[in-house]
Structure 1
Amino acid sequence: MHIDQITRTAMTLAVGTTGAVAMSLAGFPAAPLVGAALATSALAWSGVKLYLPTRLRDMGFLVIGSALGSGFRHEILGQVGGWALSLILLCLSIYATIAISRLILMKGFGKDSDTALLASSPGTLSLALSLAADGRGDATAVLILQCMRLLILSAVLPLGMIILGINPGASGGPTVDLAALPLIAVLVAGAAVSWLIAKRKFPAAYLLGGMVVSAVAHVTDLVHGMPPEWLRFAGFCVTGSVMGVRFTGIRPADILRLAVASIASVGAAALISMGFAGVTAALTGLPFGQVWVAYAPGGVEAMAAIGLALDFDGAYVAVHHLCRITFLLALIPWMARRRNTA
């Protein structure tokens, strides 16, 4: 890296960590993630150029994925089949979220169909931006609306838990830390698998790779435990700071211009996911807070990290967000083609 990139990386991490510590001291749920996201976003909005190396970002996601994977146990294999109804309702929730958010952006804020569709796609930022770069819709508007979606949901979801009186979960996952050698082995193997997944352009590759390797290691009793707290804290800080970095180079005037549209579309999406989560919780007996985090239409890494930070069942949350990615990878191109051939 150049000296300028090193300086900006150090500044980004310092600001993100400061925000994370401040939120932690205030006792805010998912404090490291939310604090880092808000602090770095505020700095980026002021015009400061932030930076995080891709490898550092990937390592943060890898740690979160490895921690999520530690929640997989033998009993999980028998439970997955029972999640079928929850997964079906998740897909219906995603379709409803996109349809309503898209309608709001088109009818309420005059966005064209492609821009509204790509901006309403929850959790596939890279896919949305790649389609926008190919000439579908307003790429700048898609970037801003997607980034605002991630930030708003990451901040509001834990706050909503407090307002609604939802207590953090009790996942029953490991409470001990992995020893040094097993930890290194899980992270190295996770990085290798993640690299292979990333080569296939699959979203959230390092979160997924870390989760898969850790899950297999725990289900087969090769290891027991999760990354130590200090490492999880660092992973949360990096994941939160990534949200702020995405605002670098975006003019504050453009953010303000789209602020109301962002709040309206994200608010509708949050309410829709909350409604479907309520129905799912009533039908399955699963904790409402856990289902809501699994259904929340934010970034996969951020929502998975929030589920982990709130101590909900990591396996349940992770499987649902993996299902969401897979469903969206098929749904968004189909909806875009359908629109163009209509």
Structure 2
Amino acid sequence: MNSAFFNSTLTRLPVTILLAALGGGTFYLMGLPAAWLSGAMVFVAAATLAGVPTIMPDPLRDALFVGIGVSMGAGVRPDVVERIGDWPISMALLLVVVVCVTLAGYAVLHFGAKWSKETAFFGAIPGTLSYVIALATDRGADLPRIASSQSLRLFVLVAILPFAVVSTSGTLEGETGLLQVSSWFEIMIGLPLCLLASLIALKLNVPGGLMTGAFFMSAGLNASGAWTLILPDYMVLPCFVLMGAMIGCRFGSMTFRQFVSVLGASVAAFSAAFLMSILGALAISSLVDIPFGQALLAYAPGGLEVMTLLAFMLDLDPAFVAAHQIARFTGMVLLLPLITGLVFGRAKPRS
């Protein structure tokens, strides 16, 4: 028993973490967006597909779900929440765009690529990669396919969006330092509250409960303005590295040939979904006085943090982009567990 544990965890986990750190560091030095997450994922996935034994133990996975949830809540600031009501038309159209994006991707993956309903559903959900992985893990869906679809979508978005909005590109001096890291006192009080919320959500069998509970507690604290819970980089970055490693490990059940075959469906699904985002951005930019590039970033099916960062870099209205991305993310966190339960039934309780 001890020998098996040593061989399966104590030797494989350090290798996995080392690969993830090398990947994240390499992508960071290359100046790529979302470097620590995507780099870790690519390196671990490539190694896994090449036959390197990688592993991500469940307790460590659960802990990083909580950490990711806490970090996501840092984007919900009082000033952003207050300004959500300033854009009623674009917010209303956002709902339509999210539905169309999901349906377009789902149609391609399920009816075109013949993926199962659950796998196609999670593979088509726009953005919130970490949250989707948490939900899909609870449902027992095909994580390698979902990770391929979601990861390719985020990678392509980050690669092409700066060029899509080049007419309004520029730099915002000092904007990236707007969010101040919490004091140790705030962190020592806030983290246990988030963990408690995660355990309650898990006890109630909420899909993705560990991340959902932490997110809503963190978001509530930050939105109230009475408490700040923003973790320092040295606590957040390891979470992204481990999340990338976890996704990469899931490719252990897929051969390289199978992975290549999935890419075609993923590209097709992304193309259909991104077309819906472009149409939505064109519609809102013609209805109200909003630059097309700004609307596209707000409607893009990408991660909250990455899209907001791109808004800072491209001299767009970061509050507008952040408000819409937060509204999309929060709405999906609220509705996805309900929709998933109604369509696919309740997930089996985790032992």
Tell me, yes or no, whether TM beats 0.5.
Answer: yes
How many residue pairs are counted as aligned between the two chains? 324
Check whether the contact 1:60–1:235 (CA below 8 A) recurs between aligned residues: yes
Q: Take 1:59 and 1:98, find their aligned partners in 2: how far apart are those partners? A: 29
Distance 1:23 1:103, change over 3 A: same
Hey, what does 1:319 align to over in structure 2? Answer: 327
Q: For structure 2, which runs of at least 5 residues remain unmatched after alignment?
A: 313-317, 346-351
Distance in 2, matches of 1:145 and 1:191, equals 30
Shifted more, 16-25 versus 305-314: the winner is 305-314
Moved more, 117-126 or 55-64: 117-126
Question: Which of residues 172, 180, 187 in structure 2 aligns to 1:183?
Answer: 187
- Shift in Å, 1:204: 4.2
Whether contact under 8 Å (1:69, 1:315) holds in the other structure is: no
SS of corresponding position for 2:19: helix
Give the residue type in structure 2 aligned to 1:118.
F
Q: Displacement of 1:63 after TM fit?
A: 3.2
Change (3 A) 1:168 1:252: farther
Give, in whole Å, the separation in 1 of the partners of 2:115 and 2:237: 40
Please say if 1:161 is aligned against 2:164: no
Q: Superposition RMSD on alpha carbons, in Å?
A: 3.6
1:101-180, aligned counterparts within 5 Å? 101-105=105-109, 108-109=112-113, 111=114, 114=117, 117-118=120-121, 120-122=123-125, 124=132, 142-164=142-164, 165=166, 174-180=178-184
Unmatched 5+ residue regions in structure 1? 134-138, 338-342
Percentage of matched positions with identical amino acids: 23
Mapping for residues 1-342 of structure 1, pairs under 5 Å = 2-3=5-6, 4-82=8-86, 84-105=88-109, 108-109=112-113, 111=114, 114=117, 117-118=120-121, 120-122=123-125, 124=132, 142-164=142-164, 165=166, 174-224=178-228, 226-280=230-284, 283=287, 295-297=299-301, 303-307=303-307, 310=310, 316-331=324-339
> How has the CA–CA distance of structure 1 residues 179 and 35 changed in structure 2, closer, same or farther, with 3 Å as cutoff?
same
Contact 2:134/2:211 (8 A) holds in 1: no
- In structure 2, relative to structure 1, the CA distance for the partners of 1:65 and 1:319 (3 Å cut) is farther
Q: Give the superposition deviation at 1:152.
A: 0.5
8 Å CA contact 1:60–1:239 kept in 2: the answer is yes
Residues 87 and 232 (structure 1), Cα distance of their counterparts in 2 relative to 1, 3 Å cut: same
Partner Cα separation in structure 2 for residue 240 and residue 126 of structure 1: 13
1:56-99 residue CA offsets vs partner (Å, 9 max, x unmatched): 33333433433343343433443233455444333322332333
Partners of 1:294 and 1:320 within 8 A in 2:
no
Give 2:163's aligned amino acid: I
Instruction: Judge conservation of contact 2:41–2:244 (CA < 8 Å) in 1.
Output: yes
Q: Distance in 2 between matches of 1:225 and 1:173?
A: 15
| Partner Cα separation in structure 1 for residue 222 and residue 339 of structure 2 | 33
Q: Please report the TM-score for the alignment, with normalisation by the length of structure 1.
A: 0.77
Q: Which residue in 2 is equivalent to 1:340? A: none
User: Offset at 1:108?
Assistant: 4.2
CA distance in 2, matches of 1:336, 1:160: 34
Residue 22 of structure 1, CA deviation: 1.0
User: Residue 57 and residue 157 in structure 1: after superposition, are their counterparts in 2 closer, same or farther (change >3 A)?
Assistant: farther
How far off is 1:129 after superposition? 7.0
* Structure-2-length-normalised TM-score: 0.75
